[in-house]
Structure 1
Amino acid sequence: MPDQKPASVIVFDVNETLLDITTLEPLFTRLFGDASVLREWFAELILYSQTMTLSGRYAPFGALAGGVLRMVGANKGVAVTDEDVAELKSLIGSMPAHPDVAPALRRLQEAGFRLVTLTNSPPSPAPTPLEKAGIADFFERSFSIDEVAKFKPHPATYQMVAEALDLETDDLCMVACHLWDTIGAQAAGCQGAFLTRPNNNLIEVQEVPQPHYLSDDLADLAEQIIAGNGR
C-alpha cells in the first residue's frame, strides 16, 4: 500500500495504455518493410515532445507525429508523402481498446473510483478516439495537455487534472504503460500504477521511483489499486 492517503481518482494515459497502437503497424510495414519501425517512430515522438517542453516550446502532438514520421523516413531514405501522414493521423484516431480495458474500468467504477484520462494528444472532434473505441462512457472527463501546452511528464500536466477536479495531486493515481509517465506523476505527488505492455518495462535503478502497482494485465492492476486504496 502506498505511504500516502488513498486516491479517489484514477487517471489513465490513453495511447498504448488504453488504445492499441499495434494497429498502426501495417502503415510502417508498407512504408519501411518493417513493422518494428513503429517503435522507433513512437520513441522519437516521445523524445521530441519532451524536448519541446524542456525547451519552453509547444507544437500539437499530431503535428509532431507527422513531422517525426517524415524525419524517420528521411533517416531511412524513404519519401513520406502528405497522404502517408494523413493515414497515420486517421489510424491514430481510430485505434481499438485493448481487450483488458473495459473489464478493468468497470471494476474500478464499481469500487467507487472516479475515472478520467490524461493524454498528450490534443482534443479531437466527436466521435473521439475513446468514443470510437467504445470506452468513453467510463470517464467523467478527458484531459489534454494541450490546455497547459506542456507534454507529460511535466508536473503542470498532473497538477492541471487535480486543480480541475478541485483536488490535490495525492488524490490521484496515474495508470500508464510508460514508466516516464508514472515517474512524472509520482514526482508530482500522485500514486503510480505501471502497466507493462509489450516493449514497456521497469528501470531498476535506485534513484528511479518505482511504481506503487505493477502488472502486465490491466484487470490485475485494477485489483491492486482497489486493495491498495482500501476499497
Structure 2
Amino acid sequence: MNKAHKIDVLLFDVNETLLDITILEPLFLRLFNNPQVMRNWFAELVLYSQAMTVSGLYEPFGNLALGALKMVGANHNVVINDEDIAEFKGLMGSLPPHPDVLPALKRLQAAGFRLATLTNSTPTASPTLLEKAGISDFFEAQFSVEEVKRFKPHPDTYQYAAKALGVELDKICLVACHLWDTLGAQAVGCSGAFITRPNNNLLITENLPQPNFVAKNLEHFADLLLEH
C-alpha cells in the first residue's frame, strides 16, 4: 500500500467492481461451450472502448458490448441470433451486486465518506442498474463517461467527476477491480484502490504506479481504509 492523500470521496467503478458480470457465464456456456469466453468478450470490449477514445471516436458502451459479442461469435464461428441478443441485453440490464458490496457501502457511508460512481456505461432510464441492485441510494451522484464522450481511463473522465463533485482530484479515491482504471485515476492525482476480484490481478513492472490500496473485496477495502 502506497501513501494516499486525505480522502473525502470514494468514486466507484460499476461493472464487475460493484455488479457481478459472472451472471453472463451461462449464456457464454450455451453459445461457446465455455463460460470463460465471457472473459475474452469483456477484454475485447475494454480494448475497443479504449481504442475508440485514443482514435478520437465514440460509441455508446452498450453498442460496443453487443458488437464485441458478435465479433467474438464470428471468431468462434458462432452465429449470434436475435434470441441470443435479447438474452444478453436482459442479463446486462439486471446485473446483481457482489455479496460484499452492500455491507461495505454501509460501513463506508457510516464512516462519513462521500460515495459516487463513474461508469463507462451509458445512463439508462429508471430503474437503473444500481436501483435494480438495491444500492443506488448510497451514492450522491452517478456519473457516466457519456458526458465527455471518452472512456476510462482517459483523464477527462476523472476530471469531469471531480468537477461535478466540487472536489480536488487528490481528495478522490477511485475504487475498481480493473488496474487500467486505478492507473488512469492515479495519473491525474487521485488515489487508487484495486479490488482483486477473480481474473483481475496486479501488473507489476518497473514504471507502473501501484495502487494505494489492494484488497480482495470491498469489505477488505473498508478494513484497510478505516485503519488508514
Please give the range of the TM-score, normalised by the shorter of the 2 chains.
over 0.9
Give the equivalent residue in structure 2 for 1:214.
214
Residue 168 of structure 1: how far off its partner (Å): 1.2
Q: Does 1:76 align with 2:76?
A: yes
Give the equivalent residue in structure 2 for 1:152.
152
CA contact (8 A) 2:118 2:144 kept: yes
CA–CA distance in structure 2, aligned partners of residues 222 and 185 of structure 1: 19
| Structure 1 residue ranges (4+ consecutive) displaced by more than 6 angstroms after TM superposition | none
Cα-Cα RMSD: 1.1
CA contact (8 A) 1:213 1:224 kept: yes
Residue 3 of structure 1: how far off its partner (Å): 4.0
Aligned length: 228
Give the equivalent residue in structure 1 for 2:139.
139
Residue 5 of structure 1: how far off its partner (Å): 3.1
TM-score for both structures, normalised by structure 1: 0.96
Give the equivalent residue in structure 2 for 1:66.
66
Letter in 2 for 1:100: D
Percent of aligned pairs with the same residue? 61
Q: Secondary structure at the match of 2:96?
A: coil
Q: Deviations over 1:172-206 (max 9, x none)?
A: 00000000000001001100000000000001112
Equivalent residue runs for 1:33-182 within 5 Å: 33-182=33-182
Unpaired runs of 5+ in structure 2?
none
Give the equivalent residue in structure 2 for 1:189.
189
TM-score for both structures, normalised by structure 2: 0.97
Q: Secondary structure at the match of 1:88?
A: helix
- Greater shift after overlay, 218-227 or 127-136? 218-227
CA–CA distance in structure 1, aligned partners of residues 110 and 176 of structure 2: 20
- Greater shift after overlay, 85-94 or 39-48? 85-94
Residue 83 of structure 1: how far off its partner (Å): 2.9
Residue 89 of structure 1: how far off its partner (Å): 1.9
